[in-house]
Every structure is written in C-alpha cells, then in structure tokens.
C-alpha cells in the first residue's frame, strides 16, 4: 500500500448532531434484543466468504478501485476478504475487522491482537480514501497505542501520527492529514471546538460556500479536516465513563461589548416582582417561577442573540436579580473606580460586571463560554464510529442506547473483571462467613454471586446518574457546531 494517503474530500466531513430523538430512542429500545443476533449474522456472512474463497491472488489496485467505486458492499466484500486472508489474517481477526468497519463495538482484551485489529481496520478505511481517528482515554494510552500501531502498520506503509496535550498547532494540523491519527478524546474535542469557532466567523453555510467558490475555503486552515471515521479504544472509559464530561472553551469579552449584555439583564430583572415572578429561598437566592419565565419570554420576543435562548436568558436574569439585591457598603464597596468584595464574599465575573454598570464604573468585561460540548455529542458527530473494549458485558446496553453500537465478542472477556474492584458490605461479609463455615466450595460460589450482584447494582446506579446528567446537558444545550446559535 502506498505511503501517500490523500483523503477523497478536502471539506469538513461530519454528521449533523440532532441529539437522540424520541423516535431514535424508541427504535433502539425495540431493537435492543434483536441486535444481539447481529454478531451471529456477521459470523455466518464470514463463513460464506470463507467457503467461496478462491486460490487466485487479489491485486491491491483492483481492490482499491472497486472499493472506491462501490464501497465495502456485497459486491466487493469477497475481494476484500480474499485480500485480507492472503495477508495471513486469521478468520477471527477478519471477523473483528469486519465488525469494526460495520460500526460495532468489538470485545478484545489482548493488546497485540487489538493493535492488529485496529491496523487492519485502518487499512480497510484507507482503501476507500477515508482517514481514521484512533481515540483513547488519555495521553498515556495514546503513546502506548501509537507504539503498538507503528509496528502493526509498518508493512502497509500507511502514515501514522499522534497528538498529545503539548503538541504545537503546526504539528497538530500535519498529524490530522495522516491516514491514521492517534489522540485522546479531550484533545480531539478541543481541536474540534477550535475549528468550529474559527469557521463560525464565515457567515454561515451560504457564506462558506461562496468563500469556497472564491478559493477562500476556511476549512483549509482547520486542524482536524472533519470527523470521518473514529475507532474508540477502551470504550468503557471513553464512551461511557466520560460521556457526560464537557470540554469548555472560554475567553474574556471586550469590555464595551459586555456592557449592553449587563444593561439588558439588569433592565429585565428590574421589571420582575418578588413573590410574583420569582421566589427567594432561605439562602437568599432568587429563583424564577413559571410566571417569571413567561414574562421573560414575552419581553425577549423582540430581542436577538442569546436572549432568545431560554436557558441562558433565565440564568443571566437570575444573576442580575442577585446583583440588584447586593447592597453597597454591606456586600461590596467602591474603591478607586473598582468593585471590591469582602474576604470570603467574592462574586463571579457576571455579577461584578453588573455592579460596575449599576454603579456607573468602567467595565472590565467577563469570562464568556464561547463553546461547550460533551463527549457524547462529539462522538455522535462522527460520520462513522466503532469501538474496542476489554469487556463489553457491563456496557453493552449503554453502547447501543447512546451510540447505536452493537457488540461483537471477538475474544473472551478480560480475565480481571470489574467485579474484582467491587467491595462487599457488612451483610455480604456475614453471608460469606456463614458459607465459609459450611463449605469452602460454597463460599467461593457465594463470593462470585455477591460480587456479580454488587457490580450490577453499581453499573445500574452509574447508568442512572449518567442519564440524569445527559438530561441536564440537553437543557443547558451545547454551543458550537454548525452556526453561531446554541444547538
């Protein structure tokens, strides 16, 4: 395979993120059990390919032309399988590669076999001219996977690159132009947000199309060149444990640009009445009620920008109510044209800015969240996504429910299960003691049963917490992607 890899498109390929709709949730709920037979169907398909395997060799150029013309379909699958087998790829490894290219979560707990699996999948994607992002939980795993893939990809001469936290910007841009890029999820998400912020300044989709016609495509200066195909390593951590973690890009606003925002928030807050539009709790914090939110909807109907976003507007007005309740000389004082708070009574940038406007002082600006996106929503924007994990059993349902990834057990689950990390309580210890007094074999079976029970309880509680956090995330809304609005 040639060492020169050029993606088919120079645009910014990604999938529009509309969240998980109720129809999609219902569809995945209904298919939760039937999808478990998908791995069986894949193995049957592979058995048919093995039965029809001929002895003639397959030329790489012929395979590449066929895949780029027809994709990895039923017409080109026999050629691809013959090419894979003539490279001394075992049947089980070929099954795992096919599962990855079909967008499944593959269970494989052997590091050497996992590297071969990912390498073969990357080579298959390279046939169709698509680059691959190998996403890891952290920089240490990135370095380890990069070293393993270097040896596995050496025969194919595919260009491999990596991105870590201290990689400079020119090196990042060059790395994303490689056939395979290894990096952590947070680094990928940070670069993606940087690209979206840069391209947001090009006046929307129509403006970007006009710039592209004029030869001034802003995507040419982007770091990532889109989200074509992602393979997630250690899916238990990256796709599940980190699903609710957001990456936030913030910056200081221009002081004079921040003044209109503060004035509008204070004007809206001054129109609200305590006990009618908002209630004050025992801690003294104001909280908008339904009448207050309806009043803000009415008053902001003619406003533009972030004031049309109900969740952000309600937060800003609540901060303004807090600023209006602060008394000079008691909660703060004005000294040398500055707002000073007493020790232990500091407030955020937003409240400070509103007090500066209220006291007619020079404004200092505020820290503004320019972009925010959770790992879950980021992964959903990949055109195609696959995963590799050590043990798929505890996360099978969540992988399907959140990402639509069906499971494929290429190897038995990891020998060291997550059950070993679960601690037993006092009642469990008493039950185990009684079983030990009766029979040692019974004690071992009892211990396994208790560990399995506690592990299931822990997984259920963690999944419940993740669902709550994801609901909160959908209410906060994610700011970035395809326009200047919150999506």
CATH number of the domain bearing residue 355: 3.90.1440.10
Residue 227 in tokens:
């989200």
Domain match, 262 and 386 both: no
Domain match, 47 and 76 both: yes
Instruction: Confirm whether 382 is domain-assigned.
Output: yes
Domain match, 208 and 99 both: yes
Q: Which residue has the higher pLDDT, 242 or 2?
A: 242
Instruction: Confirm whether 332 is domain-assigned.
Output: yes
Three-state DSSP class for residue 123: helix
Residue 254 in tokens:
């221009």
Characterize the bridge pairing of strands 246-252 and 278-280.
unpaired
State the pLDDT at residue 480.
40
Angle, CA 173 vertex, CA 170 and CA 178 arms, to 5°: 125
Owning domain of residue 95: 22-249+374-409
Instruction: Give how many domains the chain has, as a whole number.
Output: 2
Angle, CA 112 vertex, CA 120 and CA 155 arms, to 5°: 45
In eight-state DSSP terms, residue 165 is: T
CA of residue 101 relative to chain centroid, distance: 20
- Residues 42-98: pLDDT tens digits? 989 988 988 888 767 788 888 888 888 888 888 899 999 989 888 878 888 999 999
Q: Tell me which long-range contacts 428-433 makes (C-beta under 8 A, separation of at least 24).
A: 428/454
User: How far, CA to CA in Å, does 475 sit from each of 150, 216, 472, 480, 487?
Assistant: 43, 36, 5, 15, 11
Give the CA count within 13 Å in the CB-facing half-sphere of 152: 21
- Helix spans in 276-374 (H): 290-299, 310-325, 349-358
Instruction: Confirm whether 14 is domain-assigned.
Output: no
pTM of the entire predicted model? 0.72
- Residues 184-221: pLDDT tens digits? 999 999 999 888 887 765 445 566 566 666 666 556 67
Three-class HEC string of 458-485: HHHHHHHHHHHHHHHHHHHCCECCCCCC
């Amino acid at each position: 395979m040639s060492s020169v890899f050029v993606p088919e498109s120079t645009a910014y390929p990604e999938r529009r993120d509309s969240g998980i709709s109720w129809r999609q949730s219902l569809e995945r709920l209904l298919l939760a059990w039937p999808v478990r037979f998908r791995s069986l169907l894949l193995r049957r398909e592979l058995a048919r390919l093995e039965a029809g395997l001929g002895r003639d060799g397959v030329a790489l150029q012929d395979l590449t032309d066929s895949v780029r013309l027809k994709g990895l379909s039923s017409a080109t699958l026999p050629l691809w399988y013959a090419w894979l087998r003539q490279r001394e790829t075992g049947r089980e490894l070929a099954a795992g590669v096919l599962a990855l290219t079909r967008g499944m979560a593959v269970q494989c707990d052997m590091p050497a076999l996992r590297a071969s699996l990912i390498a073969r999948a990357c080579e298959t994607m390279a046939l169709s001219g698509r680059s691959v992002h190998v996403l890891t939980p952290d920089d240490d795993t990135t370095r380890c996977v990069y070293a393993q893939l270097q040896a596995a990809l050496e025969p194919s001469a595919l260009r491999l690159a990596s991105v870590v936290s201290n990689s400079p910007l020119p090196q990042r841009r060059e790395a994303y132009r490689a056939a395979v890029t290894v990096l952590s999820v947070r680094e990928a998400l940070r670069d993606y947000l940087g690209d979206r912020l840069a391209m947001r300044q090009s006046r929307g989709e129509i403006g970007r199309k006009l710039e592209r016609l004029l030869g001034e495509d802003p995507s040419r200066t982007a770091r990532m060149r889109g989200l074509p195909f992602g393979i997630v390593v250690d899916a238990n951590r990256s796709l599940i444990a980190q699903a609710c973690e957001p990456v936030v890009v913030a910056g200081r606003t221009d002081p004079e640009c921040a003044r209109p925002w503060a004035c509008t928030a204070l004007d809206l807050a001054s129109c609200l009445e305590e006990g009618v539009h908002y209630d004050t709790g025992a801690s003294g914090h104001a909280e908008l009620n339904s009448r207050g939110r309806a009043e803000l909807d009415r008053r902001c109907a003619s406003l533009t920008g972030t004031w049309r976003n109900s969740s952000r507007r309600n937060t800003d007005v609540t901060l303004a109510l807090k600023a209006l309740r602060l008394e000079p000389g008691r909660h703060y004082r004005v000294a040398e044209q500055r707002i000073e708070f007493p020790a232990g009574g500091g407030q955020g940038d937003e409240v400070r800015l509103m007090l500066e406007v209220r006291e007619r002082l020079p404004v200092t600006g505020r820290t503004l969240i320019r972009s925010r996106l959770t790992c879950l929503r980021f992964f959903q924007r990949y055109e195609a996504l696959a995963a590799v994990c050590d043990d798929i059993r505890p996360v099978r349902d969540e992988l399907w429910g959140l990402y639509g990834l069906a499971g494929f057990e290429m190897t038995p689950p990891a020998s060291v299960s997550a059950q070993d990390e679960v601690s037993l309580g006092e009642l469990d210890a008493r039950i185990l003691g009684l079983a030990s007094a009766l029979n040692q074999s019974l004690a071992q079976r009892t211990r396994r049963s208790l560990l399995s029970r506690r592990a299931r309880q822990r997984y259920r509680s963690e999944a419940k917490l993740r669902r709550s956090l994801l609901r909160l995330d959908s209410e906060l809304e994610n700011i970035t992607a395809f326009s200047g609005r919150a999506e």
